[in-house]
Chains A and B, each alone.
Chain A
Amino acid sequence: MLLSLVGIVAIVWLAATGRLGLYIHPRYFEFTVVMAVIAGVAVIAAFAVLPGVRDGDDGHGHGHDGDDGHGHDGHDHDGLADAEGHEATGSGTAPRRQLFWSVMTVLVIAGTAVALLVVPPQTLTTATVDQRDLNNSVAVANASETAQLVASDTAGFTVKDWASLMRQGAGEEYFADKTAEVTGFVTPDPQDPENVFYVARFVVTCCAVDAQPVGVPVYLPGWEETYPVDSWVTASGGFGPNPSTSSAQAIVLEPAELAPTDEPAEPYVY
């Protein structure tokens, strides 16, 4: 019950402050908030009804036994021990078991409350980029979408659009006369971390769990002194062949301007 309340308060607060987008795709916003509000009403009703039920109605007292039992069920290691725990009530081990599970329950609730309500909401960082291939085929647009991109105006292009064009091999002649302005966080190129970094974003399909990093490579030896990893920058400029010999990227952004910036309200792209 307390967990529901924690979850509901967290969702409503995130939605009210416009930060739900850190966790889930905008298309789920309405559904999530509506369900949170409905569940909130039910939880408040339950808190109001429960004390009365506990004292009176014997039938539901039983239900509460079961309720404590669920604590077991959720985490127990085998059903046999569970059965013993239930039947051995009154013998010496039962209270200790019960104590153990109540401690576990408190820990789960406290952990959830800290994670959902105390830790400030954050975007994913470079630690996750390392776990997931940057610009792998999952994140970037497919061939037909890219073909559309080639034909369209580059003014509104995102990090994802540029990354797709590079991935699909739009070629040097395409990039020769283009200029781009992109905003993203700084993350090092795995092959040449000294000289090349990416202006990167996460692409989210459903929620942050499936986030895939995409990025536009920038060649700038010693970049890390000025632009720390995970800080946000806006880069603008043209494209050119990559001077780095070890990087896998053929084309890089040659920034005419490169300035630190604040994390945008919508840090992910969709």
Chain B
Amino acid sequence: MVAAVLAAVLLVLRIVSSGWDTAVIPDRLSDFVTLSISVVIESLPFVFLGILLSVVVRFWVPDTVIHRLLPRRRVLRRAALSLLGVLLPVCECGNVPLARGLMMKGLSVPEAMTFLLAAPILNPVTIVTTYQAFGWDDGILVGRIVGGFVIANLVGWLFSLHPRPDDLLTPGFSAACKHEAAHAGHSHAAAGAGARRGLAGVFSPAGRAAQKVKLRGAVVAFSEETSAMLPALVVGSAIAGAIQVGLSRDILLALGSNPIWSVLALMILAFVIAICSNVDAFFILSFGGTFLPGGIVAFLVFGAMLDIKMVTLLRTTFTTATLVRLLIVVGLASLALGFGVNLLA
């Protein structure tokens, strides 16, 4: 009810204001607003999809399924998780809520990190669009897939050396995980009972009641995740929009034909432009003539893993110190990858 009324009020506001004259707004400001909104509108559906998947994983996928399917050895486990993107081809901004859901489900921090970094690259949509854009030319597609896999697992391995992985998380989220784990036993018993009874359980009175409680919990979880994600998304998009208006691209493009600088310039471009990994191949495609393939691979790998919007989204879950380390490792690895491809190509 409340929501419906609110929605109606907002809609009326929108309709009333749409007729207003725009001449009073300076061009720069108006472009800043347009650019930021376009990042929000582009990412919002992916974020919603990620949150929905995360809630489904948390409430309807039994823990046992996850733990039985994944290999026990940690290295193999992370390798398997980095391929999980194949099942969930969402853009990287949708992966953040999903990774949070997986961590609440008991996945370790380095494992979730590996998934976060690998999934935007190792998923069918990204691979197909990259193939459409570049084919097999210059090892760009291979460089992206292999490079993405290696870097994600390298990061996962590095962070698994951390003595207290919980310290990598913000205290708020870490507490939420512990809380979820404590509750898991009790809700799990109920879920197990429901599952044993199978479909019949859903229709029995007790099963229905359990389902209702679950649905309620899921809705609450959805609202908590949106409250966590959306402010971060809005702030990240605003920063991305501001950088777009303030920074001239000519400088970055001018650096593009130098074998060393092209890699760095394209990584910076990837970081500030903040577009989803599903489509970035098309964006960079026409740079093909201007830039060396190493720069393009670095753009496609680094940009898919981290950008200005991703960093604000990740800040909801990881501490600043963690993110700085993550940026340094991924940045250096992408640089090395870019130089390597330039040498070979």
Most buried by B among A62, A79, A112: A79
Name A230's closest neighbour in chain B (CB-CB). Answer: B27
- Is B247 an interface position by the 8 A CB rule? yes
CB distance from B94 to the nearest CB of A (A): 10
- Which residue of B is nearest A71, CB measured? B231
- Do A208 and B38 touch across chains, with their CB atoms under 8 A apart? yes
Residue B132, interface by CB 8 Å: no
Contact B22 A122 (CB under 8 A): yes
Say yes or no: A209-B282 contact (C-beta < 8 A), given A112-B234, A115-B36, A137-B287.
no
A182 touches B (CB below 8 Å): no
- Using C-beta atoms within 8 Å of the partner chain, give the interface range for chain B: 35 or more
Closest to A54 in B: B220
Residue B48 interfacial (CB < 8 Å): yes
Which residue in chain A gives the minimum CB-CB distance to B322?
A: A79
Q: Please, how many angstroms separate the alpha-carbon atoms of A77 and B324 in the complex?
A: 12
Interface of A is mostly: helix
A9 touches B35 (CB 8 A): no
* Residue from B4, B49, B247, B319 within 8 A of A131 (CB atoms): B247
Q: Does A151 contact B (CB under 8 A)?
A: no
Q: Which residues of A contact B18 (CB under 8 A)?
A: 17, 120-121
Q: Is A155 on the interface with B (CB-CB < 8 A)? A: no
Known: A23-B37, A209-B273, A210-B275. A118 touches B13 (CB 8 A): yes
Q: B40 contacts the other chain (Cβ, under 8 Å)?
A: yes
A180 to B: closest C-beta gap in Å: 23
Within 8 A of B (CB), among A9-25: 9-14, 17, 20, 22-24
Report A-chain residues with C-beta under 8 Å of the C-beta of B137.
none
- Residues A207 and B38 in contact, CB atoms below 8 Å apart: yes
Known contacts A38-B48, A208-B34: does B223 contact A137 (CB below 8 Å)?
Answer: no
- Decide if B44 touches A7 in the complex (CB within 8 Å): yes
CA distance A67 to B222 in the complex (A): 11
Q: What are the residues of chain A within 8 A of B175 when measuring CB–CB?
A: 66, 69
Instruction: Pick the 3 closest A-B CB pairs, nearest first.
Output: A79-B319, A69-B172, A35-B45
Name A's B-contacting residues (CB within 8 A). Answer: 1-14, 17, 20, 22-24, 28, 31-32, 34-36, 38-40, 42-50, 53, 59-60, 62-63, 66-67, 69-79, 82-83, 86, 105, 108, 111-113, 115-128, 130-133, 136-140, 142, 205-210, 230
